[in-house]
C-alpha cells in the first residue's frame, strides 16, 4: 500500500535536525521495521516540514508506524494519506448508492 506522510516537527525535533540528525536514515529504518520501504523524503516550507512517500504492507503496518511516531512526541501534526484503488471504491459506492435510502 502506498502512503504519503505529512508532518510538522516539534521545536525539540527541529533542534535535533539542526544538530545533524539524519532523518533519511531514521525514516527509512522506520518503514523497514514494519516491512515497508521509503521511496522519497522532502523537506518543505509551509504548513508541513516534511513529506515522505513510501510503501507499507497494509493498514496495520501504516498505523503502527504512525502510532510510534506520534508517541515519540517529535511531531505536532502528522497526516497519513493512503493510496486508493478508485475503481474498487467507485464499484462499492455504486452498490451502496443502490441500497441507501436517504431520510425524508
C-alpha pair distances (Å), 9 with each of 5, 50, 61, 76, 95: 13, 8, 22, 6, 42
As given in the structure block, the three cell numbers for residue 51 are 513529506
43-54 pLDDT, tens digit per residue, is 999 999 999 999
Model confidence pTM above 0.75: yes
Which is nearest to 41 in space by CA: 49, 50, 32, 33? 50
Contact between 55 and 3 under an 8 Å Cβ cutoff? The reply is yes
Q: Which domains are delineated in the chain?
A: 2-99 (3.30.70)
Chain centroid, CA 61 distance in Å: 11
Confidence band, pLDDT 50/70/90 cuts, at residue 104: confident
Amino acid at each position: 500500500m502506498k502512503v504519503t506522510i505529512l508532518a510538522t516537527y516539534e521545536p525539540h525535533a527541529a533542534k535535533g535536525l539542526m544538530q545533524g540528525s539524519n532523518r533519511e536514515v531514521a525514516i527509512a529504518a522506520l518503514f523497514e521495521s514494519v516491512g515497508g520501504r521509503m521511496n522519497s523524503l522532502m523537506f518543505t516550507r509551509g504548513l508541513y516540514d516534511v513529506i515522505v512517500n513510501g510503501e507499507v504492507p497494509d493498514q496495520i503496518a501504516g498505523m503502527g508506524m504512525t502510532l510510534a511516531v506520534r508517541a515519540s512526541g517529535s511531531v505536532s501534526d502528522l497526516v497519513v494519506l493512503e493510496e486508493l484503488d478508485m475503481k474498487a471504491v467507485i464499484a462499492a459506492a455504486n452498490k451502496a448508492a443502490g441500497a441507501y435510502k436517504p431520510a425524508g
